Amino acid sequence: MTTSKRLSVRNLHLALIHHPVLNKSGSIISSAVTNLDLHDISRLARTYDVGSFYAVTPLQDQRQLVESIIGHWTRGAGAAYNPKRKQALERIFVRETIEEVLAELSAGAAGRAGVLTVATSARRHDGSISHDRLRRMLREDRLCLLMFGTAWGLADSALEAADYILAPIRASADYNHLSVRSAAAIILDRIASIDPVR
């Protein structure tokens, strides 16, 4: 009988980016925080045991909203009502910018190489890396920030600043507009599951 070797991805950190992202017409905006995204992606982060999950927004009222949600489920009535949800939402941190997240991760790198940044996109980009390659890179124990864009995706400035862009999810249907939490679930399973589908 063979047993699957567990892949540790505590060196992987997730960031849900609300700025700079695009709207339907391609303009750069700051998108609103969505409660479902926070809950579902935090549960993904806990399920796959990633290092942390950052919600990134420059809007003060949106950061306060995220803090309120985190507080309810980790310290308030929600913590006693649903301990499993508490475990998941303890992984969320809210920050103002991508740069702030990177500075925080770099400070805790403990002598390792700098933080590797990987952006996601529903569009094809030259030189993008496969999910399998990212999975192999994570085994090198380098800190990695995997960034997901809200609204209509990360702005070009965020994509260009990343070290790598992950290849988009592709299926057989002529449709390509997954919710960010659905995309995050698929990607995490491909790069962090015990037995990835090949």
| Burial tier of 84 (Cβ tally within 10 Å: 0-12, 13-18, 19+) | exposed
> Which CATH code is given to the segment(s) 12-192?
3.40.1280.10
Measured between alpha carbons, how far is 117 from 96 in angstroms, rounded to an integer? 17
Whole-number Cα distances in Å, 136 to 18, 83, 164: 28, 33, 14
**What is the mean predicted confidence (pLDDT) over 36-60?**
98
Task: Name every residue whose Cβ is closer than 8 Å to that of residue 65 and which is 6 or more positions away in sequence.
Answer: 33
| Burial tier of 56 (Cβ tally within 10 Å: 0-12, 13-18, 19+) | buried
pLDDT at residue 2 in the model: 42
Number of Cβ within 10 Å of residue 127's Cβ equals 7
Number of Cβ within 10 Å of residue 188's Cβ equals 21
For residue 130, give the nearest of 54, 38, 56, 196 by alpha carbon. 196
What does the pLDDT look like over 63-119, one tens digit per residue?
A: 999 999 999 999 989 999 999 999 999 999 999 999 999 999 999 876 567 899 999
Task: Name every residue whose Cβ is closer than 8 Å to that of residue 103 and which is 6 or more positions away in sequence.
Answer: none
pLDDT at residue 117 in the model: 98
pLDDT at residue 112 in the model: 64
Rounded to the nearest 5°, which phi and psi values hold at 176?
-150, 70
For residue 146, give the nearest of 74, 53, 19 by alpha carbon. 53
Query: What integer best gives the mean pLDDT of the chain?
Result: 92
Tokens of 133: 């390659």
What does the pLDDT look like over 124-141, one tens digit per residue?
A: 999 999 999 999 999 988
